[in-house]
Amino acid sequence: MVNSGQENGFGWILTLGALVLFVGVAAGAFGAHGLKNVLSEYSRGVYEKAVFYHLVHGLAILLVAILASSSAYSDSSLPRLIAYCLTGGVVLFSGSLYLLAITEVKWLGAITPLGGTLFLLAWGLLAYLPFSVGAD
């Protein structure tokens, strides 16, 4: 059974996912229109990669919100942790790539793997989620 998400305090994850996606779409539009003639071909590719990972992981946050609203996972703290990891991953991974593309400051690329690690942790925790509550 699915509830509104407010009873278990997970409704904020849905809002977070929607906001992450809002910013991702805005960043994509800005890159496609505002930066079209500013970025080099290499930087455009970096920027597009940032938008792609931003949007994919925004959708993942929505998935976590849906799962968190399920009675099967309503008592688990893992959805909250997964949402934090995904959000942190977007900020560090995509954020560093956005800045790298715009500024071409190469050391920003050293931050990107930290975000990637948070993405991997989130996906691993999501895979573990059904086993953490004894669901099939």
Question: How would you write the pLDDT of the chain (136 residues) with one tens digit per residue?
Answer: 444 445 556 899 999 999 999 999 999 999 999 998 999 999 999 999 999 999 999 999 999 999 988 888 878 889 999 999 999 999 999 999 999 999 999 999 999 999 999 999 999 999 999 998 865 4
CA–CA separation, 48 vs 117, rounded Å?
A: 20
Q: Are 45 and 61 in contact (CB under 8 A)?
A: no
CA–CA separation, 81 vs 19, rounded Å?
A: 18
Of 121, 8, 26, 132, the closest CA to residue 66 belongs to: 8
Q: State which amino acid sits at residue 113.
A: P
pTM score: 0.90
